[in-house]
Structure 1
Amino acid sequence: MRIHRLPSRQTDRDYPHLRKKIDRNAKMMHSSGMSAHATLLPTEKIQAIESPPMLYKPATPLACTVLRNERLTPEDYSEDVRHIVIDLRDRDYVYAEGQSMGVMAPGTTPDGKAHRVRLYSIASPGAGEPGYERAVALCVKRVVYETEEQRMEGICSNFLCDLREGDTVPITGPNGKNFALPADDETDLLLFGTGTGIAPFRSFLMNLHSRPKPYGANVHLFFGSRLKIDHIYANDLNDDLLKHSQNERFQIHSALSRENPAQKVYVADLLKMKQELIEPILDRKNFAIYICGLKGMEKGIEAFVRDYLSRKSGKTVEDGEWAELKESLKKAGRWAQEVY
């Protein structure tokens, strides 16, 4: 809805027809419950790719075989990140892009209970991990906490990272329905990931590039890591993401926070730098935002959208209103986030 503004130095007496139009627009927004900011955002609900229901629960996990365990960071690098391929042949486990897989580490807790299920975003497209008859891949970082007094290892991440070809892994799921891709090819996609949060976006890009009809909208992936060597799926060890960024409609923007000590660039910083590329997408009002990675990264993305709305409307977006706007985007399938 377009709001006409009166030229400065003029009064509504000079432009009575504009005053009537402004009043009419204000009444329409009030009666519809929409704020000036809401009119700048898409409201139509996205038709998403259907996410299969959970097939295997923790009480009845599915035992599968490991086909491959590949390190995605150099051997001498402090961060150990793995690409783990799991065999799904002769299994009825089906999933869609954006879903997670549960893994149950063997053993029990100190009080004798089974370890709780850990969820990992699936890194493969729904059609299966490329290069295998039928398989699925997970992207896992080995979690280690060290203090002066002790060293603590993440139970499930270390179990997965230590798996070898032929080992058995108990899985559950698939889990999640909110991180689903649009079924059409007209929705612009703004993807934001850090670290292993890149996993679902690998599956997204592989899906989009495998469709019979080329994806017709823009796709911008903002990917944050510390260095080029831990820019997983986009470094010398594995360049799967780069294979899908050879089109001007599919762009990857790398935020490397430690590559240049003199200039630490995070995802939110890079987003501001690319404002001229992203704002036209927001203007078209047919976009979906997906965020996956470290908790807190969403704040910078929210601030960018709020600033955009404030500048377009000439009015600040207050905290309460933003919470409502963000919730409406979520309900429309246009804002999905998984942060941890």
Structure 2
Amino acid sequence: MRWGIAGYGWVARDHMAPGIAAAGGTIAAVADPSPAARDRASAAGIAAYDSVEAMIAAGGCDIVYVAAPNDAHLAPVRTAAAAGMPVLCEKPIAASLADAEAMAAAVGSTLYGTAFDQRHHPAHRAIAEAIAAGEIGRPVAVRIVYACWVDPLWSPDGAAHDNWRVDPARAGGGAVIDLALHGLDLAERLLHEPITALLIQLQRRIHAYSADDGGVLAGRTASGVLFQSHVAYNCAEVLPRRRLEVLGEHGLIVATDTMGQTAGGSVVRRCARSGAETPIAFDTGRSPFAAQAAAFMAAVRGGAHDFSMPRDIALMRVFDAAYQEAILCL
């Protein structure tokens, strides 16, 4: 299948594009207002346009993937949906709840997915299967640490970089809106139920920018499973910073270094009775982006899928209510 990418930045270029290729898709075109981004696409042999409208009008795309800054999601999603083209949009849905609601209204019956790549990580799929099979009994709590180092001059490759993720006007916030929604969505997918209550505490502790550089979240699902998460832009990357735990009445599942853009990591299950640890096998060679691209293409072909704008917008509403309250205390 042929993909058109709206916003050819770091994530699209270095992670999603290789993921699409690994899943058997092709990058047919790129739309980006930045001449430098278009030049990079052209150098890779990809047709480049300065607008999504021009890219779609040129034909040759079956799917649109939106990876523009968060405040620029609405227009390309609306354009793709109006053309009846399936659209996969990076998380968060938008920088503001108002834009997210407008996107939900615009999508209509068009196939839409929010690019929560962590739900597709092979390790996390294996964890979901283990939970569903009853291997740790009834779930009690989900605990996540997902952190990294993003200073004001951060760049993925040392070159000049538009670091919009630390600009609240463009990103909708900072570390928390960027990283925490991955964990919230993942918890819902692992447990097959929504998070219905959420509290957030923010910090602006280390970096000299106006966005939050860290936060903790606490919540619960509809049935009473507890959720806890620490996310940060102020954690050195040589430190332990990516961990997922699911506690159940009969055991504990621990995933180390699976939260993130790359393949690999490890998962073990510890028995509550004996303390014995058993590895949980998964495909360590497949990135979450490759798995995500494969899942979305299967959905476009009419296969079963778990992409849902109604569910994603419901999570965004819960998150936004807690986040807006937290901002008042920052």
- TM-score > 0.5 by shorter chain: no
Of structures 1 and 2, the larger Rg is shown by: 1
Structure 2 length normalisation: TM-score?
A: 0.30
TM-score under structure 1 length normalisation: 0.29
Bigger share in helix: 2
